[in-house]
Amino acid sequence: MEFHISRPDTAIRPALQAKIDNLTKPKGSLGRLEELALQVGLIQQTLSPELRHPQNIVFAADHGIVAEGVSIAPKEVTWQQVCHFTHPQGTGGVNFLCRQHGFTLKVVDAGVDYDLPHDRGIIDLKVARGTRNFLHGPAMTEAQMEQCLAGGAQVVRQCFEEGSNVLSFGEMGIGNTSPSSIWMSYFTGIPLAECVGAGSGLDSAGIRHKYEVLRQAMGNYAGDGSPRDLIRWFGGFEMVMAIGAMLQAAELRMAILVDGFIMTNCMLAASKLYPEVLDYAVFGHCGDESGHRKVLDALGARPLLNLGLRLGEGTGAICAYPILDSAVRMINQMDTFSGADITKYF
């Protein structure tokens, strides 16, 4: 699937910066809020940006590599959590945060190895019942990769049609820190050992085993080394669908709140296909998963929060949303020196 992403036109930048600098405050005194206001103004190409109908999309799928014992959590937790997210009471981690911050939650079955209930509002885009084990060959076919990219784009277009201009993305997929670590190593050049962490709670012996499995998988890789091939060979259905979603959001000039280790690596992979996508990314937080800080540094990204989160689901991105909201309120609701009849002293 092809996307048509262009960098925001910078012609409006001087006017945006002038508006920010002339608000009733010392120049630069609102720090990151000023930077975010400038970014959103550039994305939306307006001096009065706004955030409309925020939505969090959770993509869910299973991973064949779990058969190698790379996760402490059993595979069935994927479908159990998807059912938990979509329970009428909505008592998951992502649920209470969506309620608190006014997000609509969408849950997408990208490839869960289970027949999920049809009465929960789950968006059924199942590609297959989990990827193949990438220790022995590619996780998915070229056709499946294209299906994932198109599926993620489809969900984002639906959000856009519903009036959204800001989205966050999350994931649910036992074992998905493994493909994330491999993508990170290939796309940044950081040694694999520095990319592999505890995931959902491995001890030191478990981490060593996980590293050995992933090292062997990389040694068995027989592709062409291109970003597309690496994404296909090692990725999860939910991860590639998230890439398609990110790219479609950028094409539609939407702000993208980036969540934790897995979604950061999805943004990294997306940027290897279309570097322009990074102009639309707001990195929500730095989590506790080993390697997250290093991949953020490789992207030149400065996360808004550092709360020790490692849940995924989009939780860190949603927690960061009020900061983005404050930035937009700043540029729209603060008066200027001239408007407030205050002496401008710089």
Nearest to 292 by CA among 167, 198, 156: 198
No. of helices (H) and no. of strands (E), the chain: 12, 6
Degrees, nearest 5: CA angle 326-91-263: 55
238 assigned to active site: no
Q: How many CA atoms are closer than 13 Å to the CA of 21, on its beta-carbon side?
A: 8
Query: Cα(95)–Cα(170) distance, rounded to whole angstroms?
Result: 12
Per annotation, catalytic residue among 34, 68, 238, 313:
313
End-to-end CA distance of the chain: 50
Within 198-306, strands assigned E span 255-258, 281-283
Rounded (10°) CA dihedral 212, 213, 218, 221: 140
Is the distance from CB of 210 to CB of 202 less than 8 angstroms? yes
Pairing of β 166-172 and β 55-61 = parallel
Report the run of H or E that residue 208 belongs to, with start and end: helix 204-220
Distance of CA 122 to the CA centre of its chain: 19
Indicate which residues carry an active-site annotation. 313
